[in-house]
Structure 1
C-alpha cells in the first residue's frame, strides 16, 4: 500500500487525484493539503463518503505527521517548486503536474532527491494522448522543419506558453536544425502578434473561457501542411497517468522530467 498526500486537494485537478487515490486498492490517502479547504473531510470534498482525512493547511507538518510515501502536487507555479523541495527534504517522493519549472529548478531538485536517495516525477502533462502527440510531432519535425505550435487553455491558466507546449518545442528542437523560419524582413505591427520565438519557430498561447486544454502542431512544406492535434475534455483523462506515476516513483532515484519516460 502506497501512502499518498495530495497537495492542492481543493483544486479541480487535486479533487480528481483525491478521487483516484480513494478508488485504488493499492493506494491509501493519508493527507490532503489546501488552505482554502482546511478542516473539510477529503472524501466529502470530492462527493464521496467521509474518509477520515481532514484537509490541512500546512504541507510540511502534514507530510511529517501522515508518514506519506508520495506527494502529488497540482497547485500553482509560484508554490510548486517550494512544495516539491519540502517533500524531498521530508523524504517524500514528489509527483508534480504543476507546470512552470525552469531547468535550473529541476536540476536543483534532482540533486536534492539524489542526496536523499529518493525519486520524483515532474511532468507537464500526464495525458497519454498528449504525450503521443508530442512524440508524433518530434517524428514529423525530421521531415517538416517549418513548424508552429498553438496551444489553447482556459483564461485562468497562469503560465504561457503551457508546459506541454514547451516540452513539445524541446522535442522538436532536438531533431530540427535551428533556423529562423519565415520572412527575414517580417515586421510585427502589434507586439506579440507572431507569438513567442523558440529556436527559430513560433509558439502561440490562446486563453479563453470555455476552453479546457488543446494543442496543435502545424507543419508546412511546399504544397502541403500537416496538423497533429490533441484535445482534452475532462480532468479524469489525466488520472491513469498520475496513477502510474505514483506507483513508478517508488522505484526511482532522482527527478524524472516528463511522463513520456514511462511510455514505450
Structure 2
C-alpha cells in the first residue's frame, strides 16, 4: 500500500487528487496539508477520521511514501524541500518553480536517491503534445506558443508552455532568430524564451489549452491540445505515483516516464 499526503488538498486540483487516492486500491490517504486552514478535524473536509490534517510542517510526524502537491506557486518550493527532507517522494503538479529552484530540488532528491517528479502538466494529451512538438522542432526554425487557461491561474506563462519551449529549444540547439526591425511598443508579441514567443491568455470558460505553431518556407504545422475537465490530470498523477516508487532520482516532466 502506497501511503500518500496531499498538499493543497482543498483546492480544485487537490480535491481531485484526494478522490483519486481514495479510489485507488493500491493507495492510502494518510494525511493532508494546507497552511491557511484553521480546523484540523478531518470531518470538516469530508475525510475519513484516520486521515491526519496539518497546517504546519512541524506537525507532520506520520510515515508516508508520496507527497502530492497541488498548492500555490509561492509555496511549492518549500513544500517540496520539506518532503525531500522527510524522505517522502514528491509528485509535484504545482507550477511556478524557476529553473534554479528545480535544479536545486533535483540535486537534493538525487543526493538522497529519492524518486520523485516535477511535472508542468499531468494531462496525457498535453504531455504527448510536448513530445510531438519536440520532434517537430528538429525540422522547423521558428515556433510560437499560445496557451489559454482559466482566469484564476496565478502564473503566466504556464509551466506547460515554458516546458514546451524548453523542449523545442533543446531540439533546435540554438536560439530562434528575431526580426531586428520589429516594433512592439505594447508587448503584443508575447514573452520570449530563447527567441520562442509565448502568448498567455486568461479567460473564463477555459481550463487548459495549448497550441504550438511551427512555420517554415511554404509550410506550417500546428499541434494543439485541450483539457475540458481537470479530472483528466489524475491519470497522469496516478501513473507518476506508481512510477516514482521504482526510481531513485527526481524526474523533470511526465514526458520522461511516458
Q: TM-score, normalised by structure 1?
A: 0.91
The reply to whether residue 196 of structure 1 matches residue 191 of structure 2 is: yes
Residue 262, structure 1, aligned to residue 246, structure 2: no
Matched residue pairs, number?
257
- Report the equivalent of 1:244: 239
- Output the TM-score relative to the length of structure 2: 0.93
Q: Secondary structure at the match of 1:209?
A: coil
Higher share of residues assigned helix: 1
The residue aligned with 2:89 is 93
Write out per-residue CA displacement over residues 183-238 of structure 1, whole angstroms, 9 at most, x where no aligned residue: 32001131x21001111221111111221100000112233321100100111101
Q: Does 1:56 align with 2:54?
A: yes
Contact 1:10 1:37 in 2 (8 A): no
- Point out where structure 2 has 5 or more consecutive residues left out of the alignment: none
* 130, 140, 155: which one aligns with 1:134: 130
Counterpart contact for 1:106–1:255, Cα < 8 Å: no
- State the match for 2:14 in structure 1: 14
Which runs of structure 2 are paired with 1:127-206 in the superposition (5 Å)? 127-181=123-177, 183-190=179-186, 192-206=187-201
Determine the C-alpha separation between the residues in 2 that align with 1:124 and 1:186.
31
1:114 to 107, 110, 113: 110
TM-aligned CA deviation for residue 72 of structure 1: 0.3
1:218 aligns with 2:213: yes
**Separation (CA, whole Å) in 2 of partners of 1:179 and 1:253:** 33
Report how far residue 250 of structure 1 moved: 1.4
Give the CA RMSD over aligned residues: 1.9
- C-alpha separation in 2, matches of 1:92 and 1:60: 15
